[in-house]
């Protein structure tokens, strides 16, 4: 239909379509293009433009508190998300893999939190999602890429592959959006309020603002919030004109259960006789495949451990040799005093246990549009700490037995959760479930409280696996597109 710059619209302009989608990251773009294939027109709203802009990026500012004080008293949220066409695909690594069966199960060691739909339902469209990301949907096995890979001689561990595609969705799909007769993309427009009818059960419009000062609005039969795990709850919590607790928040769960994938990086490894260079296959010119070491599904159930994976970092000395690290490795490995330049490095990423106290709220600070900024309190529990310790010990024992190297299996100081880094995978704040008492959206991603309002993206995940979320989030949004096809055409 068109690509429009909201800065060129007259104040008071009302935009209309059958479906209105907030956020033109990979989820919003894939949903709009999928709806177009199904014959449904959509309005796709994006805060930024086609290139990075300091003023627009400043709207993403906010604070995030973590247990790792070495990262600073609070992290800056604007470093974790990109406000422009394509969203955070403009600075991501693009590692992708489908969720496993165990990731959907409500196991006790996950606090009883599972998915209200089966893996087969959630990932019905994972092949289409992989194709959207220009990955190979038929080759997720290690042997598909590494024909000579030896088996892992540990019943608790196995190797898996990630297909890695650093693909900015905005540039990759700009021409598709421009050619589409059913997608109207509006740049430089910011949703600031969700307005409801008198009953409080239907959205009547979205209030929009531009940094240039224009007030606009959007009207549709159906609205989908695909602005991410922080911005989506921020918008709903700030929409208090028609309901004091915020839209869709009757149970007080909007913004709760925030999750990221805590990552320990880099952990030092004293190489053993069988240490090998990290393997990665370049699939020119499109993407790369890399192996990781993971817990098997059986081990997760048997040992009651959430998911985790270990990857080998690139070789080479640290920028500044750390004698404390070298000393810590010496104590573990008992191999004499290792030269810091001879150390190798691993990264371990973990699934966290869903935690209602980990949440997104509104701060007292205001952005240039006059809207409250987000504050994220990311809380890792004692149970998360225990999971990290047990998992690291599993990995360390395997690496030592296999002759790959000796890994420091105890925190250098404090606790593991005080040393984790963020992965910027913002999940869980609009969690999916069957009841408004324990979730925000239903199994079709519609808000329990609101008849025509949906959420899409990793914010709806009720548990998180250890896998990067984008591929699986797009698979879910393709499922949503099928549901919307029935909703808006009946």
Q: What is the mean pLDDT of each run of 10 residues along the chain (490 residues)?
A: 90 97 96 96 96 95 92 90 90 89 92 93 96 92 89 94 78 86 97 97 98 97 98 98 95 97 89 71 69 96 96 59 44 43 82 97 97 97 96 93 87 89 96 96 97 98 96 97 87
Query: Strands, E, within 272-368: which ranges?
Result: 280-283, 287-295, 308-312, 344-350, 359-366
SS3 199: coil
Which are the contacts of 134, defined by CB distance < 8 A and separation ≥ 6? Answer: 165, 167, 172, 286, 287
The DSSP call for residue 432 is B
CA angle 106/430/43 to nearest 5° reads: 135
Residue 1, number of CB atoms within 10 A of its CB: 18
Q: What pLDDT, on a 0 to 100 scale, did the predictor assign at position 318?
A: 46
Residue 265, number of CB atoms within 10 A of its CB: 15
Q: What pLDDT, on a 0 to 100 scale, did the predictor assign at position 283?
A: 62
Name residue 75's beta-bridge partners.
64
CB 389 within 8 A of CB 75: no
Q: How many residues does the chain have?
A: 490
Q: Cα separation of 17 and 184, whole Å?
A: 9
The DSSP call for residue 313 is P
The distance of Cα 88 from the centroid of its chain, to the nearest Å, equals 10
CB 217 within 8 A of CB 208: yes
Tokens of 226: 């695909």
Q: What pLDDT, on a 0 to 100 scale, did the predictor assign at position 144?
A: 92
**Omega of the bond leading into 165 within 30 degrees of 0 (cis):** no
Q: What pLDDT, on a 0 to 100 scale, did the predictor assign at position 278?
A: 64
CB 191 within 8 A of CB 226: no
Residue 370 falls in which region: left (phi positive, over 0), alpha (psi -120 to 50) or beta: left
**Omega of the bond leading into 285 within 30 degrees of 0 (cis):** yes
Q: What pLDDT, on a 0 to 100 scale, did the predictor assign at position 280?
A: 64
Using CA atoms, how far residue 473 sits from 10, 222, 226, 483, in Å, is: 35, 19, 10, 15
Of 95, 121, 175, which is closest to residue 470 (Cα–Cα)? 95
Q: What pLDDT, on a 0 to 100 scale, did the predictor assign at position 317?
A: 46
Using CA atoms, how far residue 407 sits from 102, 328, 481, in Å, is: 27, 10, 46
Tokens of 198: 């008198």
Please indicate, yes or no, whether the overall pTM of this predicted structure exceeds 0.85. yes
Give the up-direction half-sphere exposure of residue 277: CA atoms within 13 A in the CB hemisphere. Answer: 6
- Helices (H), strands (E): how many in the chain? 10, 20
Tokens of 475: 């698979």
> What is the dotted CATH code of the domain comprising 1-60+79-91+168-253+427-490?
3.50.50.60
Secondary-structure percent of the chain, ordered helix, strand, coil, rounded to 5: 30, 25, 45
Q: What pLDDT, on a 0 to 100 scale, did the predictor assign at position 97?
A: 96
Domain boundaries, the chain: 1-60+79-91+168-253+427-490, 95-165+262-350+381-419
Tokens of 403: 């002759």
The DSSP call for residue 67 is S
Using CA atoms, how far residue 196 sits from 206, 219, 253, 407, in Å, is: 9, 12, 19, 55
């Amino acid at each position: 239909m068109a690509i429009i710059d909201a800065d060129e619209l007259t104040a008071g302009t009302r935009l209309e379509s059958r479906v209105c989608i907030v956020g033109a990251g990979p989820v919003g773009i894939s949903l709009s293009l999928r709806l177009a294939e199904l014959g449904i027109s959509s309005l796709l709203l994006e805060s930024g433009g086609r290139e990075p802009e300091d003023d627009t990026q400043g709207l993403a500012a906010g604070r995030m508190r973590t247990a790792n004080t070495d990262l600073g008293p609070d992290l800056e949220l604007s470093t974790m998300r990109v406000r422009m066409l394509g969203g955070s695909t403009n600075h991501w690594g693009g590692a992708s893999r489908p969720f496993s069966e165990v990731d959907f199960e409500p196991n006790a060691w996950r606090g009883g939190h599972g998915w209200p739909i089966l893996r087969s339902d959630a990932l019905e469209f994972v092949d289409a999602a992989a194709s959207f990301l220009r990955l190979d949907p038929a080759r997720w096995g290690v042997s598909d890429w590494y024909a000579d890979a030896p088996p892992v001689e540990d019943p608790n561990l196995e190797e898996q592959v990630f297909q890695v595609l650093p693909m900015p969705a905005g540039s990759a799909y700009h021409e598709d959006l421009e050619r589409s007769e059913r997608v109207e993309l509006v740049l430089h427009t910011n949703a600031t309020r969700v307005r409801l009818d008198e009953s409080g059960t239907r959205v009547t419009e979205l209030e929009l603002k531009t940094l240039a000062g224009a007030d606009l609005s959007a009207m549709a039969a159906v609205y989908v919030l695909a602005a991410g795990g922080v911005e989506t709850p921020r918008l709903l919590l700030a929409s208090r004109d028609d309901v004091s607790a915020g839209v869709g928040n009757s149970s007080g769960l909007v913004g709760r259960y925030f999750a990221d994938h805590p990552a320990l990086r880099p952990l030092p490894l004293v190489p053993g006789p069988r240490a090998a260079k990290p393997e990665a296959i370049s699939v020119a010119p499109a993407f790369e495949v890399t192996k990781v070491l993971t817990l098997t599904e059986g081990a997760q159930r048997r040992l009651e451990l959430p998911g985790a994976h270990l990857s080998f970092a690139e070789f080479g000395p640290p920028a500044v040799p750390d004698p404390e690290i070298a000393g810590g490795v010496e104590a573990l490995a008992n191999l004499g005093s290792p030269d810091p330049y001879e150390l190798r490095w691993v990264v371990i990423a973990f699934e966290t246990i869903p935690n209602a106290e980990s949440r997104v709220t509104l701060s007292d600070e205001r952005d240039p549009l006059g809207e409250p900024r987000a504050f994220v309190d990311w809380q890792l529990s004692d149970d998360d700490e225990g999971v990290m310790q047990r998992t690291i010990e599993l990995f360390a024992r395997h690496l030592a037995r296999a002759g790959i190297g000796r890994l420091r299996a105890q925190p250098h100081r404090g606790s593991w959760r005080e040393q984790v880094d963020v992965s910027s995978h913002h999940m869980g704040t609009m969690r999916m479930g069957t009841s408004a008492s324990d979730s925000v959206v239903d199994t079709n991603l519609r808000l329990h409280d609101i008849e025509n309002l949906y959420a899409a993206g990793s914010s709806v995940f009720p548990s998180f696996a250890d896998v990067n979320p984008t591929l699986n989030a797009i698979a879910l949004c393709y499922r949503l597109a099928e549901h919307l096809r029935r909703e808006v055409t009946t």
